[in-house]
A and B are shown apart, each in its own frame.
Chain A
Amino acid sequence: MSELAAVLAGYLLLVGLTALWSRLRTRTGDPVDYFIASRGLSGLVSAMTYAATTYSAFMMVGLVGLSYAVGVGALCFELAYLVSTVAILSTLGARVWELSRERGYVTPTQLLRERHGSYWTTVFVVFMTALALIPYSAVQMVGPAVILSGVSRGSLDYRTAVTLAAAVVLLTTLAAGIRSVAWTDAVQGAIMLSSATAFVLWLALRAPPGTAEALGDAGLLSPLNELWTPRVFMAYTTPWIFFAVTNPQVFQRLYLPRSRRDYARMVAYFSVFGLAYTVISVSVGLLARGLELTGTMALGIDLRSRADWNRVTQQLMVYAHPVLSSLVAISILAAATSTVNSIILTLSSMFAYDVPVPERARLAAGKVVVVAFTLVVYAFALTRPAFVVDLAVASSTLLLPLLPLYLSSVYGLSGRIPYAVTALTCLPLSVYLTMGGVEVLVPREVLVLLLSLGLYAAALLVERHRRQRWF
């Protein structure tokens, strides 16, 4: 416990000082500065906040467990996400950066509202986005809370750990808005990567000869096997390959770099971070399984229980030095809080700009929403929502109908009627299909994607045809 207390105190001091320092650089009272740092961040800080926002507690908890259970297929899923994100950032993302400067956008939904020209549909989109991201944010709190309470051997109970995470989220968000979020994200990203590197090196040094052969014989080096079927692969991967477009907390980060050169640097640094962190997280899971198969460690994971997969990291920590396990636990807390604070700040900016709020009250309204959403996420996290990966993927599925809306607004295919029809039909439908557990021939995620794209395209064709007839 003393090691954990020391590491935790050091972490809180570092994050607190960074948040206070960033407050000194803020233009108080300016909502554009509060929400997007007046579009003035460097490439490195933009990259670190992008990475820390997109890579959450899922990586060292959910992905490690997934790699342990299904093998290298987990790498295919996570690197498919990275490759698609890099492709999106290099093409659509660059255009979004230009548009945000030309048109002065602060929030992602401002782009939708202005390009499609429907105010009330945008209000609906803002509320649906919040509905999708609350469970995702709550899930982020569960992993670190369980691990912190495990590493402390119960001295730090689950409720206290969740309270601590919520306090970090509030501190880093309210101190100076995006400036404190981005700078603490940069510090937390460094903690995440360095601790994960130390953890995987420790595991690799314990691996006996023949570990890779044992994994191969167990079918864990095949990208598809009886647990990771083509259907499961498509279901997990489909929402994630479009994450950079459909999730507003990462979309808004495209507005932050101060120049084209900084935007290019952001993408390059983020990509390198993403590749390293993904390979490390998957390697931790694969090595853990290899060590178990060769009889070096006994982790006691029940492969039939998907909830049990989340315990892999926690069980590995039993074998690690207390300082190393404390560092990894804190890195998971850093990954979670750096994701949640970004989500909450982005949602607050959408409520301040895209629902009826007087212009001079935008900043105050945004801060009220920050506190309100943190409390909602905190309350939801206390209920210990189920399996981390499934809930995270479900949240992304709920946002999939936003894909045609953003794509069309960026590439000049916008239309008020297609926007309204797709948003008002497909967003509730995705909630029904995801939450109702409806079984269909193709994975739900693929169905939501195809329906949204098809409906938008059909409505756009009808709208353009009618316009041609009238004029």
Chain B
Amino acid sequence: MELESALLVLCAALSLLLPFALRGDRSLATFLAYVVLSLLAILTSVLRLRRWAGVE
């Protein structure tokens, strides 16, 4: 599996596991962690699709 696809699957898995890891959080850490995770997934998908579309 190529790197971008593996990263995307990892992001999706993390989005399911994070609530268990951050259980009991009383700060804005969960909110920020999910925004960062989403941004990472978006960036990775853009890179993967640009390569697929032939835009390097």
**A residues adjacent to B (C-beta < 8 A):** 72-73, 75-76, 79-80, 82-84, 86-87, 89-91, 94, 212, 216-217, 219, 221-224, 230, 233, 237, 241, 259-261, 263-264, 267-268, 271-272, 275, 279
16 A-B Cβ contacts within 8 A? Answer: A72-B30, A79-B15, A79-B35, A80-B15, A83-B38, A84-B12, A86-B8, A221-B28, A222-B25, A223-B22, A223-B23, A261-B55, A264-B50, A267-B49, A271-B45, A275-B42
Q: How far is the CA of A336 from the CA of B19 in the complex (A)?
A: 30
Known: A84-B12, A90-B4. A72 touches B53 (CB 8 A): no
**B residues adjacent to A (C-beta < 8 A):** 4-5, 8-9, 11-12, 15-16, 18-20, 22-31, 34-35, 37-39, 41-42, 44-46, 48-50, 52-55
Q: How far is the CA of A369 from the CA of B37 in the complex (A)?
A: 41
Nearest-neighbour CB distance to chain A for B33, whole angstroms, equals 9
The answer to whether A79 touches B37 (Cβ under 8 A) is yes
Residues of A within 8 Å of B34, CB to CB, are 75-76, 79
Q: For B46, give its contact among A94, A237, A268 (CB under 8 Å).
A: A268
Known: A260-B52, A263-B53. A275 touches B15 (CB 8 A): no
Q: How far is the CA of A72 from the CA of B30 in the complex (A)?
A: 7
Residues of B within 8 Å of A72, CB to CB, are 25, 30-31
Residues of B within 8 Å of A230, CB to CB, are 19-20
Which of chain B's residues has its CB closest to A238's CB? B16
Q: How far is the CA of A72 from the CA of B28 in the complex (A)?
A: 9
Q: For B27, give its contact among A216, A241, A260, A268 (CB under 8 Å).
A: A216
Give the secondary structure class of B's interface.
Answer: helix
Q: For A75, give its contact among B16, B31, B39 (CB under 8 Å).
A: B31
Known: A76-B34, A90-B8, A263-B49. A84 touches B20 (CB 8 A): no
The answer to whether A222 touches B24 (Cβ under 8 A) is yes
The answer to whether A86 touches B42 (Cβ under 8 A) is yes
Residues of B within 8 Å of A233, CB to CB, are 19
The answer to whether B19 touches A224 (Cβ under 8 A) is yes
Which of chain B's residues has its CB closest to A260's CB? B53
- The 3 nearest A-B residue pairs measured at CB: A223-B19, A264-B49, A260-B53
Nearest-neighbour CB distance to chain B for A281, whole angstroms, equals 13
Known: A86-B41, A91-B5. A222 touches B49 (CB 8 A): no
The answer to whether B23 touches A224 (Cβ under 8 A) is yes
Q: For B52, give its contact among A82, A84, A264 (CB under 8 Å).
A: A264
Residues of A within 8 Å of B45, CB to CB, are 86-87, 89-90, 267-268, 271
